[in-house]
Amino acid sequence: MESGRDGADGLPVVVVCGPPASGKSTVGEVAARALGAVLLDQDVVTGPLTAVVAELLGTDDLDSPALGGATRAARYETLHAAAEHNLRVGRPVVLVAPYTTERRDPLAWDRLAARLREAGGAPLMVWLRLRPEELLTRLRDRSAARDREKLAEGDSYLSRVDLTPPAAPHLAVDATSPPEAQSAKILKALVD
């Protein structure tokens, strides 16, 4: 279900989503620079507070119900409130997060898109496609503490990762292409 922006009027709001290690942050940075947009990466915006909660719970795995489930609503609300604020002062926005619920549930995406449009944005969901074997390679290469359990599980972890395209309207981008090429595809979709 690929398509363009969700509403052509308004400031660009690029919502970069994808599986872990798909390059969301890198592509988000390149696209934000090209657009002159505010970059709101969930890991950066909510990371310090999430780290405090992680320490209290004794886990740094955002996929765990204890940490991920306990903080999801607050982490996304923080991200979306910051996006709305920036849209209202006339700044385009690039949002970077997994957006698992919004990409699986078209109604959840519709609610977010409506909220962003109300603030003056024209949202475009971007899905970074990645093959399972490339996902494991990237997790190993980035060597993040939060990926230790995932790598230890290997194929078992891969069987739980949702690599299916979003059910909501989106622009699919090959995550193995260079970030500049990915950004160029996004920018082209914004003007088409």
Model confidence at 28: pLDDT above 70: yes
Entry field: residues in the chain: 192
Judge whether 19 and 163 are in contact, CB under 8 Å. yes
> So what's the pLDDT on residue 4?
47
> So what's the pLDDT on residue 23?
93
CA distance 175 to 28: 12
CATH topology of domain 11-191: Rossmann fold (3.40.50)
> So what's the pLDDT on residue 1?
42
Give the model confidence (pLDDT) of 4-24 as tens digits.
Answer: 455 468 999 999 999 888 999
Q: Going by C-beta distance under 8 Å and a sequence separation of 6 or more, which residues neighbour residue 103?
A: 17, 109, 125, 127, 166, 167, 168, 170
Give the model confidence (pLDDT) of 38-94 as tens digits.
Answer: 999 988 888 777 776 666 656 565 555 555 556 778 889 999 999 999 999 999 999
